[in-house]
Amino acid sequence: MATTPQTVYEPHAGAPSPLQEKARRHLWMHFTRMGAYDDRHEIPIIVRGEGSYVYDEHDKRYLDGLSALFCVNAGHGRAELGEAAAEQAKKLGFYTNWSYAHPMAIELAERIANLAPGDLNRVFFTSGGSEAVESAWKLARQYHKVSGNPTKTKIISRETAYHGTTFGALSITGITPLRTPFEPLVPGAHHVPNTNEYRWPEDRDPLWAANQIEHMIEFQGPDTVAAVILEPVQNSGGCFVPQDGYWQRVREICDRHNVLLIADEVICSWGRLGHYFGVQRFDVEPDIITTAKGLTSSYAPMGAVIVSDRVADPFMADPNAFTHGITFGGHPVSAAVAMANLDVFEREDLCGHVLAKEEEFRGMLDKIHEDLPIVGDVRGAGYFQALELVKDKETKESFTDAEGEELLRGFMSAELFKNGLICRADDRGDPVIQLSPPLIADSEEFEIIDRVLRQVLTEAWDRIVSHPGPQRPRRLPGG
């Protein structure tokens, strides 16, 4: 079973470049099958970006259909973000938020609070998304302790959901192959079904998945459960959208059992769904939001935990303190980049652009679904969409593990990259193609996605389904 985005290659004649040699000798890439690279299989080295596109060391252009990793929301080549970083470095390159404050962290915290829903007015900065999730679970646990409920320590998340790789966040993650190499994990994380209704019986109650959360709370014991953590649209498995009323039912369940509701918005915030925060699309107010990635459009590392007044208030009374911290949380240079990034969002109305163009984007994908037998489902919201691939559209029959390996790694990942499209071909669940372009993407980019997907998916169907049989082995790097 694949568990990560695919690393792909484009072979080039001649001796490897100095960068290739250095990368093979010294760079350990994340979630990557390092042994797959050799003289015939290059590491894809991206050297520059402009708008919705990136360029490799051979100056070949690719449409960045994944915004790097769901995160370069404002697009590549924004010089003003680098200029903001340089100006801040001249004033104050770094100071800690451990018992001290600095202007950039203060201004950014206020700006985030003003954009967040409801009374989520307190911002605790981290270095990234895994740290934000880790911090949120610790906060939920300590909140219940200082509020007189010390046995409320457990957390509930969804099957196949990804919430990070640090030990607590990995325990919350619901992807078995990511968890098993590191078990035993942190106790107290439990998982319930997700909202992938494409694989549900037709007569299932639309709010069945929401009700399973209450079942788990009651099974574990309400006096032991601290929090429920959910993405507005679940990434892993392929952009699972919630059913109408799902979030409202979960909010009711959490309130009934004194359980905190955490929205993991590491991907879904900062315009990905057409709003500053994904929960705003679904009209719900969580107690805590975790965020990262698009906060700076990933021009600098930064994450945050955004907390409601109700949850923060017990920690504001002396001598209480949230006994947790991260060295680079609220880094002044990252905060300056985030402020400049949000200036771009406001000036160019990137959230409005996504809302205005998502129908066109989704319509293009729906037409592919209609035309190609290998596409069983299209789902997602905003600039966060997925195609599920099947052997039989009528029965929804999926691919075997061996077929999936050949489909995704043996053919599609390399072919998509070869044709100038970076996206995610993944099977954390059933095989899917995920698309998450920069928020500036427009009709020109949709046309490229349409052309490449049609070409590659048509050939994939012919190779794997129409004419199955022994294929000449192709070594494909990547996790």
Mean pLDDT, contiguous 10-residue spans, the chain (479 residues): 46 79 94 86 94 97 98 98 98 96 98 98 98 98 98 98 97 96 97 97 97 98 98 97 98 98 98 98 98 98 98 95 96 98 98 98 98 97 97 92 80 92 86 97 98 96 73 35
Residue 57 lies in a domain: yes
Residue 471 lies in a domain: no
Of 321, 348, 375, the residue at which a domain comes to its end is 348
Query: How far apart are alpha carbons 241 and 232 in whole angstroms?
Result: 7
CATH code assigned at 384: 3.90.1150.10
Query: How far apart are alpha carbons 436 and 427 in whole angstroms?
Result: 17
Residue 478 lies in a domain: no
The DSSP line for 225-259 is EEEEEE-SSB-TTT-BPPPTTHHHHHHHHHHHTT-
Asked if residue 332 and residue 247 are part of one domain, the reply reads yes
Give the per-residue pLDDT at 1: 38
Closest CA to 234 of 285, 162, 164: 162
Give the per-residue pLDDT at 13: 62
Q: How many domains does the chain have?
A: 2
Asked if residue 31 and residue 111 are part of one domain, the reply reads no
Asked if residue 366 and residue 335 are part of one domain, the reply reads no
Asked if residue 300 and residue 224 are part of one domain, the reply reads yes
Give the single-character DSSP code of 197. G
Residue 205 lies in a domain: yes
Asked if residue 157 and residue 57 are part of one domain, the reply reads no
Total-model pTM: 0.94
Helix (H) / strand (E) element for 384: namely: strand 384-389
**What's the order of all strands across the beta sheet hosting 303-308?**
120-126, 303-308, 288-291, 260-264, 225-230, 154-158, 189-192
Asked if residue 418 and residue 461 are part of one domain, the reply reads yes
Asked if residue 63 and residue 83 are part of one domain, the reply reads no
Give the per-residue pLDDT at 9: 54
Closest CA to 20 of 56, 45, 46, 3: 45
Hey, which residues does 157 pair with through a beta bridge? 191
Query: How far apart are alpha carbons 234 and 162 in whole angstroms?
Result: 8
Of 326, 348, 370, the residue at which a domain comes to its end is 348
CATH code assigned at 248: 3.40.640.10
Of 316, 348, 380, the residue at which a domain comes to its end is 348
- Structural domain for 25, as ranges: 18-77+350-466
Query: Counting every residue, how long is the chain?
Result: 479
List CB contacts of 469: < 8 A, sequence separation 6 or more.
none
Closest CA to 229 of 195, 255, 199, 191: 191
Hey, which residues does 304 pair with through a beta bridge? 125, 291
Give the per-residue pLDDT at 471: 44
**Tokens found for residue 45:** 């080295």
Asked if residue 73 and residue 83 are part of one domain, the reply reads no
Residue 271 lies in a domain: yes
Asked if residue 366 and residue 295 are part of one domain, the reply reads no
Residue 219 lies in a domain: yes
**Tokens found for residue 247:** 């979030």
Say how many C-beta atoms besides its own lie within 10 A of residue 87's C-beta: 12
Residue 439 lies in a domain: yes
Residue 310 lies in a domain: yes
Asked if residue 85 and residue 72 are part of one domain, the reply reads no
Asked if residue 392 and residue 300 are part of one domain, the reply reads no
List CB contacts of 190: < 8 A, sequence separation 6 or more.
154, 155, 156, 157, 216, 220
Asked if residue 176 and residue 297 are part of one domain, the reply reads yes
